[in-house]
Amino acid sequence: MSLKERLNFDKDPVYLIDGTALLYRAFYARADLSRSDGFPTNAINTVMRVLMNLLKDENPNHVGFLMDGKGPTFRNALYGEYKANRPAMPEPLRDQVEPVRRGVELLGVKLLVSEGVEADDCICSLAGRYKADRPVIILATDKDIKQCLDDQVVMVSQMGRKETIHTLDSFREAEGMEPATWPDFQAVIGDSADNIPGVPGVGPVTARKLFAATGPTLEEVRDNLDKVPEKLRAKVEPEMDNVFTYRELTRMKTDSCDQDLDFFKLRQPDLAALDAFFEEYELRGLQRLLPRGTGAAQAAQAPLAETVRKAAKAAPAVEAKQFSLFGEAPADEKAEEPMDVNVAETVDSLPDLGGEDVGLTFEDEAFFIGVNGQEYRYAGPARELVRKIEHASVIATPSVQDLLRADEAWGHILSGQWFDLSLAAYLLDPEARNYTWARLRQSMFQDGRAEFADAARDLHPQSQGLAALAYMASVRGQVEGAHLNALMRELEIPLIPVLVGMERAGIAIDDAAFQAFLDEVNGQLDELTRTIIKHAGEEFNIRSSQQLAVVLFDRLGIKAGSKTSTGLRSTANQVLEKIRDQHPIVDAVLEFRMLEKLRSTYLEPLPKMVGEDGRLHTHFNQLATATGRLSSSQPNLQNIPIRGVHGPRMRACFNAQDGNRLAAADYSQVELRVLAHFSKDPALIDAFRHDEDIHARTAALIHEKDIADVTDGERRGAKTINFGLIYGMGVQKLARELKIKQTEAQEFTDKYFEKMATLKAYYDTIVEDALKHGFVTTLAGRRRLLPELHSRNNQLSSQARRQAVNTVIQGSAADIIKMAMVQAHKDKTLKELNARLILQVHDELIIEAPEANIEAAGARLMEIMQNVAKLDVPLKVDMGVGKNWAEAH
């Protein structure tokens, strides 16, 4: 469904694209695409693909692609420091500016390069000019453009795979103001992305209080300063002259461009020149989307929107909420001749596979084998096929884990023979989320992606095994070029049989303990229900957030904390925590919710999921997180409570089978140790080498006192900031966690980095490297692309900076425990002790072994974990044994 249809516009919109923002995002979205001679083509490829998708999906009549021109603008003359913090455009991106401009015009899209102003100014000018006549859809990410939102003007932002549509109503609801006063608000809070200072010490929350007291414009603030609280007035009054200047920087110059609508009328594309352009830059995936006989005169007469649509392969219809300018678009179905597949009744009917590269998929209860240009279908036993294929050179398959889950016989294939297609796709793009074979095949046949152009050209769309081979051939070079081959070969593929072995082993549960705990919780829930109803004075559904809101805020008169995104009064736990002192019913509701989650998430469903062997069998997900950490599902055994009053009781319900015991080995502060290793911070290294309390040591350093004199509160604050920085905690969250003012949290953070200057320098280095290369890497070479680092949206760029630090530290910790799992799985001593891994939970490994062997097995596991990686500080592991998980942990 097009944007026009989704937004219920009755006239054809004009589409205005922030080309400069798109160019930057395209460059950093894929950092490893280049022509055979090394000339970078990543930005060209993505920009052209976005535009071709837009033409195909929206079938527009008017499109403008607007880019910033060279040289300073009026803003630089007004404020010399404007954008002075911006790094120079990287040379590989600068090289692609001219080709992008040329490609845009070859598509028939009008290019406009601004002079003396920014492209955003022109976009807002043109939106204001056209909106009386027709709708305007702006494709951009810069928050400043929101100031031109209107009934007929919307802004569509695409961040990775997430699309957000900003309308006048959504802006009013989210920001509580009119678009026209957005520049006033931005002037006060500042914008670090554009080097606009704002009023020191005034953030969004305080700014809203300021405007609420005076009125929504700077003129009203200036004229009503006497209505502003004294402490806030002391911050604002000295800056009044400056903020008026800042407003000129944040306010769009809406008289900067005056082109008539016809200026942006979509023109006939020069298809022959476009074909030559794609050939010049080796963008053959895009070239394939052009009609056959592009150079012919008759082809050049067809609008590109039509020709691209006809050339594209069929794709499923996209739901409105899934719509993506970067995604797949619907296309006309094209009938294909059935593919010739050789049916192999037995494995002896297959050709000799020894020493060959083989593609292997499983579909419709049969295996499809691709080798030497031929496709074979085999529906016999897997163990027979294993015998036939075990001497192949390489086996390309969508998911080794799925094969091993289905049949243990696949375990006879050596890990070095596998090329796991989904794993390769994940390592190259760990935030894509969807690595199914259906999606990977679609990327070859329907997306027109450049890396698959040659492979897909001669490949039948119905092929399976040959498609797997073609996919491997297309991405193997990318894996090697991104230096991910060692990570895949030496860690991730060897980890697969470890995960499947743990899934197959499962963990035993104590039925009686589960039932007793459930009975107890049900009794407490009944009692709490009576208490809550008594406080409310009427019966209502406690689980209904709307009914609860009526009771709390209307009947009992409790002051509402905040609203949801849909405008309803929120009863989320974090809101109730803030108002729990206003009425005893709030405490009762929070207790009810905690117990209800315990009942509905664990106590009732888990016993029903036990297999015939009396054990719970989870699925470990290797492709689920951008940092490389494993996750667990069906059921999720990684979120079993560990702390609090119910944590130990819950874990006591998981036990060893008769005659066995559990050993739980847990890395101690592994992420902080990784941080110490990478940062070389002397305080951290010294503390870990001497096995000191790292949080007390940090507190002593910050507060300049002996460790013995550190209070519990000071240690808690140091612990919060030590771990918080790893997980990207900002000053606001630190203030909430420590229950202190934001200014105090800022002072605490500043002092922390002052005392631990090496740590601050290391964080800055991570971000600088990420800005330079577009990605960060972990201890084992895992990488994560971070295109939002260069976003003009300060919130997104700040989030990406936190993600950069978090990925390096948390991802490296994930690498370490994966290394330990692989070593433990193949360790001869553990095998001799009849010990097996059964569970991994973040930094903890759990093994089960006969009672007589469990101490030795636990000690061996601890030894493996502590020596699996050589860091500048020792890896420390806490280990315990017991009949159940609570005792062992």
Q: Over 70: is that where the pLDDT of 565 sits?
A: no
819/600 Cα distance (integer angstroms): 35
Residue 91 binned pLDDT confidence (cut-offs 50, 70, 90): confident
Please tell me the number of Cα atoms within 13 Å of 86 on its side-chain side: 19
Q: Over 60: is that where the pLDDT of 577 sits?
A: yes
The more confident residue out of 716 and 337 is 716
* 3-state DSSP of 374-436: EEEEECCCHHHHHHHHCCCCEEEECCHHHHHHHCHHHHHCCHHHEEEHHHHHHHHCCCCCCCC
Phi-psi region of 850 (alpha: psi -120 to 50; beta: other; left: phi over 0): beta
Which pLDDT value is given to residue 324?
Answer: 28
Residues of the chain with CATH 1.20.1060.10: 508-616
849 has which bridge partners?
Answer: 661
Which pLDDT value is given to residue 105?
Answer: 94
- CATH number for the segment(s) 342-505: 3.30.420.10
The residue-averaged pLDDT of 436-463 equals 76
34/38 Cα distance (integer angstroms): 6
User: What is the rounded average pLDDT for all residues in the chain?
Assistant: 87
Please tell me the number of Cα atoms within 13 Å of 312 on its side-chain side: 27
The highest-level CATH class for domain 624-681+756-889 is alpha beta
Residue 539 binned pLDDT confidence (cut-offs 50, 70, 90): very high
27/22 Cα distance (integer angstroms): 8
Residue 702 binned pLDDT confidence (cut-offs 50, 70, 90): confident
Type and span of the H or E element at 682:
helix 682-689
Which pLDDT value is given to residue 326?
Answer: 29
% residues pLDDT > 70 (the chain): 92
725/733 Cα distance (integer angstroms): 11
Q: Over 90: is that where the pLDDT of 310 sits?
A: no
206/231 Cα distance (integer angstroms): 11
The more confident residue out of 299 and 825 is 825
Per-residue pLDDT tens over the stretch 37-87? 878 898 999 999 999 989 988 999 999 999 999 888 898 888 888 887 777
The residue-averaged pLDDT of 642-657 equals 90
* Closest among 885, 772, 872 to 812, alpha carbons compared: 872
Residues of the chain with CATH 3.30.420.10: 342-505
Which pLDDT value is given to residue 316?
Answer: 33
Q: Of the ranges 129-138, 250-259, 399-408, 714-723, which one carries the lowest mean pLDDT score?
A: 714-723
Per-residue pLDDT tens over the stretch 511-525? 999 999 999 999 999
Domain 508-616 has CATH 1.25.10.10: no
The residue-averaged pLDDT of 418-424 equals 97
| Burial grade of 258 (CB within 10 A; 0-12, 13-18, 19 or more) | exposed
Residue 307 binned pLDDT confidence (cut-offs 50, 70, 90): very low
Rounded alpha-carbon distances, angstroms, from residue 125 to 258, 264, 588? 7, 14, 55
The residue-averaged pLDDT of 740-768 equals 86
Q: Over 50: is that where the pLDDT of 824 sits?
A: yes
Per-residue pLDDT tens over the stretch 164-184? 899 999 999 888 899 999 999
Q: Over 70: is that where the pLDDT of 563 sits?
A: no
Per-residue pLDDT tens over the stretch 344-365? 999 999 999 999 999 999 998 9
Residues of the chain with CATH 3.30.70.370: 624-681+756-889
Going by DSSP bridges, is the β-strand pair 14-18/136-139 parallel, antiparallel, or unpaired? parallel
The answer to whether residues 688 and 676 touch, using CB atoms and an 8 Å cutoff, is yes
Residues of the chain with CATH 3.40.50.1010: 3-175+253-262
Domain 3-175+253-262 CATH (choose: 3.30.470.20, 3.40.50.1010, 3.30.420.80, 3.40.50.880): 3.40.50.1010
Per-residue pLDDT tens over the stretch 311-323? 443 333 332 222 2
Which pLDDT value is given to residue 826?
Answer: 95
Q: Over 80: is that where the pLDDT of 301 sits?
A: no
Residue 546 binned pLDDT confidence (cut-offs 50, 70, 90): confident
* Lateral strand order in the sheet of 507-509: 615-616, 507-509, 654-655
φ/ψ (deg, to 5) at 155: -125, 130
